[in-house]
Each structure stands twice: as C-alpha cells, then as structure tokens.
Amino acid sequence: MAPQVQPPAHRFVVGLTGGIGSGKSAAASEFERLGATVVDTDAIAHQLTRAGGAALPGVRQLFGETAIDSNGAMDRAKVRALVFADLQARRRLEDLLHPMIREESQRRIRGATGPYVVHVVPLLVESGDYREHVDRVLVVDCPEAQQFDRVLRRSGLADKEMRAIIEAQIPRQRRLAAADDVIDNSGTLEALNAQVRVLHRRYLRLAGTEAR
C-alpha cells in the first residue's frame, strides 16, 4: 500500500530569494525536481511582457513603441537601461507589473499540487508585503565577486549595468539577517543540491506533508 500523505492545513510557502547571480534558479530547479511546486515571479514577469502578454499595452503606454522589440515583446535590455537610469520610470514599471505578478503568483500558489510551494521572489526582503505571505524566508547566498562573475558570463551585461542592478538591491548582510534558512552557493552545484535536499526534508516536516 502506498504511504499516506497528511494534507496540509494551509499551503506552506517558502519564499526563496537572493541577489542577482546567487543561484536562485539552480536551487529552485532542484526543489522542483524533488517535488515542490515552484512559483517564480521572474518567469511570470517574462510571460506578462512577452508578445501578446497582458502587460504589453501598459508598457507601450508608459515607454512608447521603442520599448517593444521586433518580435512584439518588451525590449528587456532597453527597458532595463531606462529604469536603472530613471528612478521614476522604474517605479512606474513596478506599479504596472507588481500587482499583476502578485495576482498570478497567488493563483498559482492556490493551485499548487506539490507538498509545499517555493515562491521565488528576487526582491522578497525589499517588498515587505511578500514577507507576510510566506512561512519561511530562504536566502541563496554567495560572495559578491561570484555574483559578478556568474552574471557577466551568462548575460554579457556591462560592468556599469551590473553594479546598478546590485546597488538597487538591498545589502547582502541585510538579506541574510532576514533569512530563516540560508543556502551557501559559493561552491559546486552538487554542494548546492545537497543543501536543497536537506531543506526539502525540513520543509516536508514543517508543511506536515511527510509520508506517514
């Protein structure tokens, strides 16, 4: 007979966050492989701003046709350069996207089929209202020098753009201070995955979804 799984009294949500290049996606992928439901706000933002996405009319209204690429999606490079150079433009974009991302995130969390949810939110600690909707805060952490190296290798962003993105996020120590759990991603992928497996067992217990 298959083991019985205790249904959760409520949806147990882990808020996964970390600086750019810290390894959030790698950690989320391992959680998903282990059976957790992953709700990624960056993935939702991409869907909202791709060709035909629900946010495209608002992006066009805010920034004009130059913000739309040849495929009909938001030109992420142009808009990123704009919002990091202009604080007001950044706030207008956030005012457009954040409510839509929150609504879609909550819809996916309500429909989750995994034993618990990993909600990937890069600006979790910066956005206090998100903290109210998660049961644990998990920070994926690595030294800033590694962040730079990883992002430069994968994205080709200019050093100036990289620094602007990192400076827009809260300091590393403040993020760590808000954490219930921390993954040290200064080593190998296998080392990261090993830490995820330990946390997975912890979250199953906390969620009340361990096999009985």
Predicted TM-score (pTM) of the model is: 0.87
Checking if the pLDDT of 159 tops 90, the result is no
**44: closest CA among 135, 149, 122, 160?**
122
Give the pairing of strands 117-120 and 13-17.
parallel
Q: Which two tokens stand for residue 137?
A: 């805060």
**42: closest CA among 85, 97, 81, 116?**
97
SS3 state of residue 189? helix
List, edge to edge, every strand of the sheet that includes 117-120: 37-40, 117-120, 13-17, 136-141, 181-184
Which CATH number is associated with domain 1-36+114-212? 3.40.50.300
- Give domain 43-113's CATH architecture: 3-Layer(aba) Sandwich (3.40)
User: 112-148 pLDDT, tens per residue?
Assistant: 999 999 999 988 988 767 678 899 999 999 998 888 7
Q: What is the mean pLDDT of residues 16-28?
A: 93
Residue 7: the pLDDT is 39
Residue 156 banded pLDDT, cuts 50, 70, 90: low
Residue 80: the pLDDT is 86
Cβ atoms of 105 and 119 within 8 Å: the answer is yes
Residue 8: the pLDDT is 44
Same fold, 1-36+114-212 and 43-113: yes
Cβ atoms of 117 and 13 within 8 Å: the answer is yes
Residue 128: the pLDDT is 64
User: 50-98 pLDDT, tens per residue?
Assistant: 999 999 999 999 999 999 999 999 999 899 888 888 889 989 999 999 9
Sign of the Cα torsion 137, 169, 19, 100 reads positive
Residue 100: the pLDDT is 95
Residue 132: the pLDDT is 82
% of residues, the chain, pLDDT over 90: 66
**Domain locations in the chain as residue ranges:** 1-36+114-212, 43-113
Q: What is the mean pLDDT of residues 27-48?
A: 97
Give bridge partners of residue 17 from the DSSP assignment: 139
Comparing 23-27, 88-92, 163-167, 169-173, the range with the smallest average pLDDT is 163-167
